[in-house]
């Protein structure tokens, strides 16, 4: 629990297996433009009028200029959202594979596992929508991450409650730190825009709020895993290092591929 609290301070029920496979490929078929590039949201599908009204002309001199993202910032966002989608895909598959062997010996964990899986599936759907909306391609490592995540979940589930919870603690520690880093970067952008007197689009602010919410839910999973005996796993230190190292490696690769 201390680990989760430290991560939070840094920047401030039924399981379904078919959803990841279908939703993961959705962004590949999107035709929606990337509206974050202008740090604002376009809510109308009709083309803007070429004849501005007098009221809009009068308001232009007093309105703040909308901040635009640089090419480097845009690249960061593309990479970050792609990694987030891949990470949430992995989380749903870990819980999907972990649950059956785990519940055979620890049926009392059914509610907890269902709750955590439902939240991860919700996170996955969120990033699927964001990638589709912004036309960001998913990672090409999808098949490998799917197999690796399923194996990790199944093997730690077979090892028992402590190993399964140790796996959750390790994964959520890395994910919490990863989301914290993204939140800090985006808040830095917001501060720079405000200092330049630029208008920060609602889409950027909503993205920050979404990342904070998802981060906090991931850290709740970390707390729950520790409460369920994660650190009683044997060998705890080895399992923790291996899983966290694997997460860091997957993040690094997914950012680039």
Tell me the two tokens of residue 114. Answer: 């269902």
Q: Which residue has the tokens 């920047």?
A: 11
Report pLDDT digits (tens) over 218-233: 999 999 999 999 999 9
- Quote the pLDDT of residue 38: 41
Helix axes 142-159, 71-105, angle to 10 degrees: 30
Residue stretches of the chain with pLDDT short of 70: 1-68
Whole-angstrom distance, CA of residue 193 vs CA of residue 142: 35
Whole-angstrom distance, CA of residue 21 vs CA of residue 143: 10
Domain locations in the chain as residue ranges: 2-10+70-256
- Quote the pLDDT of residue 56: 42
Report pLDDT digits (tens) over 8-52: 555 454 344 344 444 444 444 343 333 344 443 333 334 444 444
- Quote the pLDDT of residue 83: 94
Query: What DSSP character marks residue 52?
Result: -
Whole-angstrom distance, CA of residue 78 vs CA of residue 93: 23
Query: How many other C-beta atoms lie within 10 A of the C-beta of residue 209?
Result: 11
Provide CB contacts within 8 A for 187, sequence distance 6+: 11, 208
């Amino acid at each position: 629990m201390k680990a989760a609290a430290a991560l939070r301070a840094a920047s401030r029920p039924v399981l379904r297996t078919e959803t990841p496979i279908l939703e993961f490929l959705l962004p590949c078929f999107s035709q929606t433009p990337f509206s974050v590039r202008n740090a604002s949201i376009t809510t109308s599908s009709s083309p803007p009028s070429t004849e501005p009204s007098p009221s809009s002309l009068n308001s232009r001199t007093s309105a703040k200029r909308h901040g635009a993202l640089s090419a480097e910032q845009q690249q960061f966002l593309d990479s970050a959202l792609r990694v987030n989608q891949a990470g949430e895909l992995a989380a749903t598959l870990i819980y999907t594979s972990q649950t059956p062997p785990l519940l055979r010996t620890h049926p009392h964990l059914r509610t907890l596992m269902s709750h955590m899986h439902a939240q991860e599936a919700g996170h996955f759907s969120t990033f699927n929508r964001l990638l589709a909306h912004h036309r960001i391609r998913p990672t090409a490592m999808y098949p490998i991450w799917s197999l690796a995540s399923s194996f990790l979940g199944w093997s730690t589930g077979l090892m028992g409650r402590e190993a399964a919870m140790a796996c959750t603690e390790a994964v959520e520690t890395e994910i919490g730190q990863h989301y914290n880093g993204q939140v800090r970067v985006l808040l830095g952008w917001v501060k720079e825009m405000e200092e330049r007197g630029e208008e920060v689009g609602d889409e950027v602010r909503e993205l920050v709020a979404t990342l904070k919410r998802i981060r906090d839910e991931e850290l709740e999973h970390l707390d729950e895993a520790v409460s369920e005996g994660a650190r009683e796993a044997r060998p705890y230190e080895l399992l923790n290092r291996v899983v966290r190292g694997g997460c860091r490696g997957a993040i690094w690769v997914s950012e680039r591929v």
